Amino acid sequence: MTIAILGALFLLAFIGFMLGRSQALELTGKNRMSSLSRPILCGTYVALWSGLPALILFVLWIAFEPLVLEPVIIADLPAGMSEDAGSPARSVFADIREIAIDGAGGRRIDPAIAAAADHYRRLKSVSFAASAAAVLTLATAGLTGALARLAAAAHGADRAPFRPTRPDVKLMILEREQDAT
């Protein structure tokens, strides 16, 4: 499942690169952008804004997911089970996770542990769906935001030359324009 999210994330980053590059090529062809704005740099800019924040979110999600799920699963166990027979809660959680992922393997397990393993599976599937939605939403937002900033920068390069706001400088510019005509 992690591979699916990473694959979709890299696909969105690649699409962002191609869209940014094609937008830069289109705008460069119309002579709107400065020579500093190269199409590959624009594509890389969009790809990074699309992929990097989402990748950071995904890594943080993966890192902190066990820290959130373990207390929830342990809290749902019957009283005394988490510290049963001298086994610490981490050991019980490791057994629950192993049963949830690999199955019972033909061995007889406590019904409370089986129920906790089912609960863990459900929480993992909800966590996967939430992480996929959050990561892909952030990647899409980064892609559209970077494309919008790229278009705004291109339109800013097409504007009239800079006009100062100080009145005395404005007067000097107006006098020069009148002298030129």
Q: What letter represents residue 77's amino acid?
A: L
The neighbour count for residue 74, using CB atoms within 10 Å, is 17
Six token digits for residue 33: 């952008």
Run of H or E including 129: helix 111-157
User: In 46-64, which positions are buried (b, 16+ CB within 10 angstroms) versus exposed (e)?
Assistant: bbbbbbebbbebbeebeee
pLDDT tens-digit map of 104-114: 666 777 788 88
Q: What is the pLDDT of residue 99?
A: 83
Average pLDDT, the chain: 80
- The residue range of the domain holding 41 is 2-180
Q: Taking residues 91-105, report their average pLDDT.
A: 78
Contact yes or no for 61/131 (Cβ under 8 A) = yes
Q: What is the pLDDT of residue 36?
A: 43
Six token digits for residue 95: 């057994």
For the chain, the domain total comes to 1
